[in-house]
Structure 1
């Protein structure tokens, strides 16, 4: 599809069909994403690809560790200090739309917590990648990896594959590092779960909106 259509149709998939993708298709998606531009062509991203028995083991172990220490946050990168004004409005609107699609009442804290834990099941996707960056490159490395994640998701969507970027995985980077045996010079940023979308699942029916250009684009004129 053309790029404009692809961007209009992009969405976060939270329910997947169980069958794995063909190895050739996974390789094709990762090959396209590898063309992502980066600062001085450093290409700081590394990805750990999980599927089959490896992903089943990883999600079981990771969820168990998160449930044992629900507040054991160990993010390699600073978390947001908060969300104020329009940013909080957008965050809340997205959350309410998600819960509404699943029939979860706003006051049902237990159901909301369980939906959050679904991140650590990778929403039952047949594949996932854990994205890490070179620690010493700091913010610039993380920015480059963000571009990589975007291109990975767009390359997947162009081939009919659903994705969701999961910052929740990075919140428990310590557990991820131990499970994967990652060296200290790598920082855990996020995961991307992917596979064929379960198109009939209600959680895949809602879409988030986007701010108007006038709200984000500031035209600078010569003084």
Structure 2
């Protein structure tokens, strides 16, 4: 698949088939994605790949933990951003479209809670990835992790797989840390689902809109 086609075809998939993804294919994706650039080539990322019984255990323990109203229901690292327009409208537009496809009406807290919990099931994808980062690194290394994740998503798409990047996994980090043996000196940044999209699922028809270049690009010095 040409890189342009992978970029255009990639989208966040929130329903997967149970078909297993061979370890050899996951390894191939990670090896090619490891060519992602990082500031001064420090390659700060660490990736935990879960499948099989470990994935099932992680899912079960996180879902049980979140029902206890735990203290770690937010990221362990600082997240102080205050969203304003136009970001609020973009976020709400996506949410409205997605929950409409899921058949979840506005204000249905129980259904919303269940759907949010689907994050911790990796939307039924057979493979989950968790990305961690040394706590003593600065914000630039968060950018490096994002570049790696995009590389993984494109490499996966080029091989017929789909993904969903999941910020939800920086919640309930105490369980993820315990189950996967993540050291205390690392932040759990986010997760990713990896597998084959369930094309029959209505939610997977969602393609989020993109703003025109005129809204976010300023050209300087061109004749």
TM normalised by structure 2 equals: 0.94
State how far apart, in whole Å, the 1-side matches of 2:114 and 2:71 are.
15
The answer (yes or no) to whether the contact 2:72–2:174 under 8 Å persists in 1 is: no
Pairs aligned (count): 222
Q: Please give the secondary structure, in 1, of the residue aligned with 2:83.
A: coil
CA-atom RMSD, angstroms?
1.6
Name the SS for the 1:138 alignment partner.
coil
1:127-152, Cα deviation, whole Å (9 max, x unpaired):
01110012211211111011111111
1:13 match:
13
Q: Does 1:136 align with 2:136?
A: yes
How many angstroms apart in 2 are the aligned matches of 1:121 and 1:22?
19
In structure 2, what is the equivalent of residue 94 of structure 1? 94
8 A Cα contact 2:16 2:125, kept in partner:
yes
Q: Which moved more, 1:171-180 or 1:133-142?
A: 171-180
Q: Distance in 1 between matches of 2:69 and 2:139?
A: 28
CA positional deviation for 1:9: 1.1
Residue 162 of structure 2 corresponds to 162
5+ residue gaps in structure 1? none
Tell me by how many angstroms 1:71 deviates.
Answer: 6.3
Write the distance in 2 (CA, Å) between the matches of 1:124 and 1:26: 17
Superimposed CA distance per residue, residues 1-42 of structure 1 (whole angstroms, 9 cap, x where no aligned partner): 212221111100111111211221111111111111111111
| 1:1-223 pair list within 5 angstroms | 1-69=1-69, 72-221=72-221
Return 5+ residue gaps in structure 2 as ranges.
none
Structure 1 stretches of at least 4 aligned residues deviating more than 3 Å after TM superposition:
none
Alpha-carbon contact 1:10-1:157 (below 8 Å) kept: yes
Contact 2:45/2:132 (CA < 8 Å) preserved in 1? yes
